[in-house]
Chains A and B, each alone.
Chain A
Amino acid sequence: MCLAIPAKVVRIMDGDVAQVEIGGITRQVLTTFVPELTIGDYVLLHAGFAIQTIDEADAQETLELLTIMAQEWEGDA
């Protein structure tokens, strides 16, 4: 199943384990596939593992483009 949720890294432990927070709930995940993590990073969670880090700068860029598109749309309407 393709379900994976974004979660924020709040604690990094030994042995490829980290604690992440999603919507106020904290849980433990395996970081086998995301070896270089910093507290505050966002990761995608799937089946107990972090499978990728989320590129926040990229997300921001996409949102800025969408904001401009929406403003132009309103402008034309």
Chain B
Amino acid sequence: MRFIDEFRQPSFAKALAGKIQKWAGPPVNLMEVCGTHTVSIFRNGIRDLLPPQVGLLSGPGCPVCVTPDREIDKAIALAKDPKVIISTFGDMMKVPGSYSSLNEAKAEGADVRVVYSAMDSLEIARDNPGKDIVFFGVGFETTAPTTAASVLEAKRLGLKNYFLLSVHKLVPPAMKVLLEAKEVRIDGFICPGHVSTIIGSHPYEFIPRDYGIPCVIAGFEPVDILQSIDMLLEMYSGAKAEVAIQYSRAVRSAGNLSALNIMSRSFQVSAVEWRGIGTIPESGLKLAKELESFTAEKHFQIRTKPPRKIPECRCGDVLRGVCTPPECSLFDTGCNPEHPIGPCMVSSEGTCSAWFLYSSREREDGILSMEAGR
């Protein structure tokens, strides 16, 4: 596949890995913010190519993982209304809320449908005039414009049965919170490639400017990631902090103006809760006043029980880079992809799921807990 295969070439990976392995500087921690990067790093064995002084930390860039249980509870409550059809991206189906999941609600008779695009939800609304369709809008800046487009189209069509339950979030504010919290030392950021096709490089500039930390916007193929690590190490050793674009074939520094324009017309920014992290100011997207008639919370009276936390679940710590999945007591002892307890294990981009599926672990009996049916 063009623009994929070329960035998987072994000769390129070998040269980059060889250069990185010569790192003679102090130990550095690089954080990959985006869940898709975490998975790519595991899938391609990138960690094994790095010298011990170059460490990788996973960050909170998994939009499914940071959706609060309270919001999932709302979606489930809406789904249980016989007049409502909830549409959602597939990844949200198995994520546990406080008491249940959308998948379980569906099994119990709720009309929950998996869609690939927000526009599919619009189709469902057009095909079911007697029902109310609520789209559960999950995702960062890559996806938010597509949701916005669906709402603007619903307005254009005069649809009265299409609503949005938005849990869309912005990435740079979460990066700021991690830097301010100082729970982990971050020496460089591998910035999300596709979020950046939309937002460009300017939103990250506060990081080198105010914290002296370099950022590289990275593509997702192994060569992209290795080249980005190399670029970060160069900046670190040159004491030169700035935002560089490795993924320049897809990311322009100004981002995608037409997508940014649609987002600013459709959304207002507000403080929202991030599961496992807490409330982050100016980090969430809700519909703008002119589009409030499409906001699910304004149209429906959504009643949920108070959210309930599972104390041993350390998804929050994992999302902030404070611990690795195996350091959670539930990892592989009760929490696995078949029976996930927290969202990091459910999402295909969750750090715990990536760790579970891809890293080799020494176990006493040498059998993976999934296969043993535990």
B142→A51 contact, CB < 8 A: yes
- Chain B contacts with A in 1-41, Cβ cutoff 8 A: 1-4, 6, 9, 11-12, 14-16, 18-19, 34-37
B67 within 8 Å of A (CB atoms)? no
Q: Which residue in chain A gives the minimum CB-CB distance to B138?
A: A1
A59→B249 contact, CB < 8 A: yes
B331 within 8 Å of A (CB atoms)? no
B42 within 8 Å of A (CB atoms)? no
> Min CB distance, A55 to chain B, in Å?
5
B293 within 8 Å of A (CB atoms)? no
Q: How many A-B residue pairs have CB under 8 A?
A: 132
A42 in contact with B256 given A1-B63, A59-B249, A74-B11 (CB within 8 Å): no
A14 within 8 Å of B (CB atoms)? no
- Chain B residue numbers with a CB within 8 Å of A6 are 1-4
**Chain A interface size range:** 35 or more
B192→A70 contact, CB < 8 A: no
- Chain B residue numbers with a CB within 8 Å of A34 are 256, 258
The interface of chain B, by Cβ under 8 A from chain A, is 1-4, 6, 9, 11-12, 14-16, 18-19, 34-37, 61, 63-64, 89, 91, 116-120, 139-140, 142-143, 145-146, 149, 192-195, 197-198, 220, 223, 227, 248-252, 256, 258-259, 262, 348-349
User: 20 A-B contacts, Cβ less than 8 Å apart?
Assistant: A1-B63, A1-B349, A2-B61, A5-B4, A33-B259, A33-B262, A42-B2, A44-B194, A47-B143, A49-B145, A51-B259, A52-B252, A54-B3, A58-B249, A62-B248, A62-B249, A63-B6, A66-B12, A66-B15, A70-B11
